[in-house]
């Protein structure tokens, strides 16, 4: 019936002198589609300068650094290619291996401490307590303070205030600064780094806890579930995606720790708290440019591998 009506309408138009509508060809449809998906020039206006700056400031220096890692360059002047010599030396250097062991161990311990404390704080700051909004604002303050400033403040506390307090209490192990103790200096670094990193992790956990419907807890309470049981059987499973995201992102960020370590111990005592980032920067100033570029390239590959893992494990987790 629809076809008959369309035919009559077309015939009427012809009798009245009007032209029949022309059907679009496939090529014309593609042209219209191309014109409909044309890139907005304003988009390019913002994109192109960003790409140029990123290429000049990040990509180009990174490529040049990787190339120079196969040379004997000291950062300037002439150089010659020496193949994989720098990479072989890195893997056989005890100081570099110690830096990697410290960095990985420090990152693992810190990510556990940060996530455990932040998760418990998120539970507390989303419960029915007074002034919880004000308390959230207080707990996120360390996030906006520079890491080097935080390190210098805590350095004074560990070197002066804490020993004086321990002496007054007669607690001998802390009467001397732990920053000067090769066996305890890493503890100070973990505490200060955690103090700075907890706020950002806390915000993610608060968002995760608040996303859980209140009816779930009400039903559990009616069934007689205790607070601990609700935490283990409801809160933890339903925020598993947020926990996973925080663990992966936190570990990757702690691998790059630099400013807090410099402000607290500067890699000491000796080289007991020297991180990979510190060894790279110190090598640049010490004339081992190509050697440390090889070290930086290896560290870059590790960071990329962790980033790939992060993308895989966090894909689709934001909706949890």
CA distance 314 to 137: 27
35 lies in some domain: no
pLDDT 10s digits, 43-60: 888 888 889 998 998 889
CA distance 266 to 260: 9
Question: How close are the terminal C-alpha atoms of the chain, in Å?
Answer: 51
CA distance 251 to 106: 9
CATH number, domain at 314? 1.10.3720.10
Q: Is 85 helix (H, G, I), strand (E, B) or coil?
A: helix
259 lies in some domain: yes
The pLDDT of residue 316 is: 58
Asked if pLDDT for residue 70 goes beyond 60, the answer is yes
152 lies in some domain: yes
DSSP for residue 269: S
- Tell me the average pLDDT across 169-186: 87
The pLDDT of residue 314 is: 66
60 lies in some domain: no
CA distance 145 to 140: 10
pLDDT confidence band for 31 (50 / 70 / 90):
very low
- Tell me the average pLDDT across 93-98: 91
Greatest CA span in the chain, whole angstroms? Answer: 112
85 lies in some domain: no
269 lies in some domain: yes
Number of residues assigned to the chain: 320
238 lies in some domain: yes
The pLDDT of residue 139 is: 80
pLDDT 10s digits, 248-306: 889 888 998 898 999 999 888 888 999 999 988 888 777 788 999 999 999 989 888 88
Domain interval for residue 175: 93-319
Higher per-residue confidence, 29 vs 262: 262
243 lies in some domain: yes
Structure tokens at 223: 């069934």
CA distance 267 to 200: 26
Count of domains forming the chain: 1
CA distance 275 to 296: 12
Whose CA is closest to 118, among 136, 103, 144, 145?
136
Structure tokens at 291: 């050697």
- Tell me the average pLDDT across 110-134: 87
Distances in Å between the alpha carbon of 219 and those of 123, 125, 168, 208, 237? 18, 21, 52, 19, 16
């Amino acid at each position: 019936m629809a076809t008959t009506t369309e035919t009559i309408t077309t015939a009427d138009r012809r009798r009245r002198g009007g032209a029949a509508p022309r059907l679009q060809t496939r090529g014309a449809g593609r042209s219209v589609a191309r014109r409909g998906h044309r890139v907005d020039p304003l988009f390019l206006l913002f994109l192109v300068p960003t790409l140029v700056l990123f290429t000049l400031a990040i990509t180009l220096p990174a490529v040049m650094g990787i190339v120079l890692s196969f040379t004997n360059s000291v950062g300037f002047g002439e150089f010659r290619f020496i193949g994989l010599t720098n990479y072989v030396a890195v893997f056989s250097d005890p100081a570099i291996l110690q830096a990697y062991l410290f960095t990985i161990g420090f990152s693992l311990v810190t990510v556990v401490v940060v996530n455990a404390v932040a998760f418990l704080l998120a539970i507390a700051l989303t419960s029915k307590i007074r002034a919880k909004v004000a308390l959230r604002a207080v707990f996120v303050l360390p996030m906006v303070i520079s890491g080097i400033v935080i390190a210098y403040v805590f350095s004074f506390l560990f070197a002066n205030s804490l020993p004086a307090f321990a002496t007054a209490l007669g607690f001998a192990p802390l009467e001397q600064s732990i920053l000067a103790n090769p066996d305890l200096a890493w503890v100070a670094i973990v505490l200060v780094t955690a103090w700075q990193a907890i706020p950002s992790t806390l915000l993610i956990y608060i968002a995760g806890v608040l996303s859980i419907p209140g009816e779930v807890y009400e039903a559990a309470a009616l069934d007689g579930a205790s607070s601990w049981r609700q935490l283990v059987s409801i809160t933890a499973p339903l925020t598993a995606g947020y926990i996973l995201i925080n663990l992966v992102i936190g570990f990757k960020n702690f691998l790059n720790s630099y400013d807090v370590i410099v402000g607290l111990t500067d890699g000491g005592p000796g080289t007991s708290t020297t991180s990979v980032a510190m060894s790279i920067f110190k090598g640049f100033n010490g004339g081992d440019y190509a050697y440390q570029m090889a070290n930086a390239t290896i560290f870059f590959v590790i960071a990329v591998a962790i980033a790939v893992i992060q993308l895989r494990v966090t894909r689709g987790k934001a909706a949890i």
